[in-house]
Amino acid sequence: MDLTKINPQELKKLSLKELENLAQKIREYIIEIVEKNGGHLSPNLGVVELTIALHYVFDLDKDKILFDVGHQCYTHKILTGRGKEFRNLRKKEGIAGFPKRSESPYDIFCSGHSGDAISVGVGLALFKKPEEKIIVVIGDGSIQTGVAFEGLNQAGFLQSDVIVVLNDNEMSISKTQGAFSKYLNKIISDKRYLSLKQELKSFLNFLPERLKKESEEYLKRLEKGLKRLFLPTTFFEEIGFRYFGPIDGHSLKDLIKIFQKIKELKGPILVHVLTKKGKGYKKAEEDPEYYHGISGKEDKSIEGVFYNEYVGKVLCEILDKEKNAVVITPGMRLGSGLKEVSERFPERFFDCGICEQHAIDFACGLALRNFKPVVCIYSTFLLRAYDQLINCCLLHNLPILFLIDRAGCVPDDGETHQGVYDISYLRFLPNVTFFAPYFLEDLKEMILFALKKDSPVFIRYPKDWGEFKGNTGKIEPEIITKGKDGILIGVGAGTRIAMDLNNKLKEKNIFLTLVDAKVIKPLTISFYRDLFKDNLPVFVIEDNLKEGGFGEYLKNLFPNQKIVNFGFESKFLGVGKRTEIFKKEKLDSESLLEVILPIIINQKVDVKT
């Protein structure tokens, strides 16, 4: 079977044996490409058979499959005519690592954040054609998000014609946390039903052959009755779903059988499928957390220390001394650099699961009890808890430290994971203290400062490496070099670009005053008043939207100053490495040089730029 030729129509012609061979080939292909390009390995290896079975039974020219989170869509992409392009997975202009509508009519929704698919499915199901099927594939980690429960709630209430396939591998990125995961485990391991069924079977064996035949139908009904009598109904049944499972998610035969059966049914259905994360690749099976998402072989251009790793180290030092400091993550223990924290301080480390809203409210509760909560959260996922941020944390002015990882443009994941909005959506809010360090010493100083402060503090840093400046950390804007021809201000990662640009300008005998802004809010007005006193042209570089960004803030405060801002335009940024994204958006030092050089030479800056 040629993986570059397979499509949903061809798939339906295959025998079970051929489907099994296909699964093996897809697995090998995914391993080969992900090891090279990077990507989500263990989630995808776990759903190969499940995806093949869904494609085999359902007709995707009329039925719709929604992948929750979407990171497990690789088999789906290969099966829907993208086998060849899959070689360019997560490359600039290549195949995205998440479902993408512009890529294929079979990707019906661009997902990337957990928990949304059931609700989208309920919406799709409402006015669909009677024969059309809506299928949602969701993991046991994602089904715990608040919004997923909201979707289940309405589906049960409306009796929506929607099939939810719960892919239960007992893992989120880390081991799935929370009472609901314990509950799912209980369903899986409840032996009562199985032993009852076994006993009925042995009883049947004692009957004479003729009686056996005659009583088979009766025994089936008896089994159903006994199940109802002795077994508790599942949560899903209680809210109006029909529950099927647990099903072996690696048996194509079982999967096809159950999907063929439920295809004929109407109303909300939940199929509980058991899979192994990393299936078929020993290293990933043994450490599915590490292999959840890996970087590719070509991603090794590291010149410093990664911010998240450094943060993990600093937090360990702090937790050692500050006995009331607690660390909270909504499901991102490894990504946020918290492995050591979680192992050394298990009693003060809380993985709340994929529940950003809850994580912030939980931190509020702890802060009310005089703990010092540190919420480690990705910029993109903080969006989900904006309400809790404003109405719970900021309104009560609670001393919570937010370490905002993956701020700015984010490599590899594309539109759904970008962190370029946070300066714009945080800086104008009340009670916000907000920092964007570039140098690691400053980052540490800011964390220490925040833990002493009695109000909320936000610190943003990118998914990138940072460097030590070899000096003591300071929480104030700092002049790195002085120059006579203008002023160049870097904000966070913008400082690295600014330093680069400054070197290029020096080669052309142009000397700018280079500033590492660091403090977004409260703005150090006296520093900038002094900086701007000679009315030289000012250039601000930030790793955020230009609109609502730091530069715009400066411009508002100094309306007569010549300030030119450089940041991202208001649009969705696609897949690429960070350096590629900066280049594409003309925010790399070479592109900026071309714009800035003539301005300085002509000393003409339109105040309205």
Ligand X SMILES: Cc1ncc(C[n+]2csc(CCOP(=O)(O)OP(=O)(O)O)c2C)c(N)n1
Which residue, 180 or 468, is less far from ligand X as judged by CB? 180
**The dihedral of CA 207, 213, 218, 220: what is its sign?**
positive
Q: Which residue in 487, 565, 494 sits closest to 529, CA to CA?
A: 487
Give min distance, CB of 113 to ligand X, in A. Answer: 4
Could you give the maximum distance between any two Cα atoms of the chain, in Å? Answer: 105
Give min distance, CB of 44 to ligand X, in A. Answer: 8
The residues binding ligand X (CB under 6 A) are 43, 46, 69, 71-72, 113-114, 139-142, 167, 169, 171-173, 277, 331, 354, 356, 381, 384
Neighbours of 269 (CB within 10 A): 23
Structure tokens at 250: 């690696």
Q: Residue 360: in which H helix or E strand, if any?
A: helix 356-368
Which residue, 139 or 399, is less far from ligand X as judged by CB? 139
User: For residue 300, what are the contacts with CB-CB under 8 A and spacing of at least 6?
Assistant: none
Which residue, 185 or 215, is less far from ligand X as judged by CB? 185
Is 248 exposed, middle or buried, given 0-12, 13-18 or 19+ CB atoms closer than 10 A? middle
Structure tokens at 270: 């939940």
State yes or no: 39 annotated in a binding site.
no
DSSP bridge partners of 465: 306
Which residue, 405 or 478, is less far from ligand X as judged by CB? 405
Give min distance, CB of 517 to ligand X, in A. Answer: 29
Report the C-alpha gap between 488 and 517 in whole angstroms: 10
Which residue, 114 or 388, is less far from ligand X as judged by CB? 114
User: For residue 26, what are the contacts with CB-CB under 8 A and spacing of at least 6?
Assistant: 3, 48, 52, 75, 78, 79
Give min distance, CB of 327 to ligand X, in A. Answer: 17
Q: Which residue in 519, 528, 417, 535 sits closest to 473, CA to CA?
A: 519
State yes or no: 97 annotated in a binding site.
no
Helices 307-321 and 440-452 pack at an angle, to 10 degrees, of 40
Which residue, 178 or 331, is less far from ligand X as judged by CB? 331
Which residue, 252 or 354, is less far from ligand X as judged by CB? 354
Which residue, 114 or 154, is less far from ligand X as judged by CB? 114
State yes or no: 292 annotated in a binding site.
no
Give min distance, CB of 45 to ligand X, in A. Answer: 10
State which residue has the least CB distance to ligand X.
139
State yes or no: 140 annotated in a binding site.
yes
State yes or no: 112 annotated in a binding site.
yes
Give min distance, CB of 149 to ligand X, in A. Answer: 14
Give min distance, CB of 573 to ligand X, in A. Answer: 17
State yes or no: 225 annotated in a binding site.
no
Report the C-alpha gap between 554 and 523 in whole angstroms: 8
State yes or no: 76 annotated in a binding site.
no
The alpha-helical segments, DSSP class H, found in 115-251 are: 117-126, 146-158, 179-189, 191-206, 209-230, 235-238
Q: Are 546 and 566 in contact (CB under 8 A)?
A: yes
Structure tokens at 326: 């607690």
Give min distance, CB of 112 to ligand X, in A. Answer: 6
State yes or no: 169 annotated in a binding site.
yes
**The dihedral of CA 163, 168, 171, 176: what is its sign?**
positive
Give min distance, CB of 256 to ligand X, in A. Answer: 21
Which residue, 69 or 520, is less far from ligand X as judged by CB? 69
3-state secondary structure of 297: coil
Report the C-alpha gap between 319 and 311 in whole angstroms: 12
Report the C-alpha gap between 435 and 446 in whole angstroms: 8
Give min distance, CB of 30 to ligand X, in A. Answer: 14
Report the C-alpha gap between 379 and 362 in whole angstroms: 18
CA torsion 109-113-117-119 (nearest 10°) is -110
Q: Are 418 and 410 in contact (CB under 8 A)?
A: yes
Report the C-alpha gap between 392 and 415 in whole angstroms: 28
Give min distance, CB of 405 to ligand X, in A. Answer: 12
State yes or no: 301 annotated in a binding site.
no
Which residue, 288 or 537, is less far from ligand X as judged by CB? 288
Structure tokens at 510: 């142009």
State yes or no: 71 annotated in a binding site.
yes
Give min distance, CB of 387 to ligand X, in A. Answer: 14
User: For residue 97, what are the contacts with CB-CB under 8 A and spacing of at least 6?
Assistant: 39, 40, 71, 74, 89, 90, 412, 413, 414, 575
Report the C-alpha gap between 387 and 281 in whole angstroms: 41
Kind of pairing, strands 401-405 and 457-460?
A: parallel
Which residue, 379 or 561, is less far from ligand X as judged by CB? 379
Which residue, 71 or 250, is less far from ligand X as judged by CB? 71
CA torsion 182-183-185-186 (nearest 10°) is 120
Residues making up the binding site for thiamine diphosphate = 71, 112-114, 141-142, 169, 281, 356
Residues making up the binding site for Mg(2+) = 140, 169
Residues making up the binding site = 71, 112-114, 140-142, 169, 281, 356
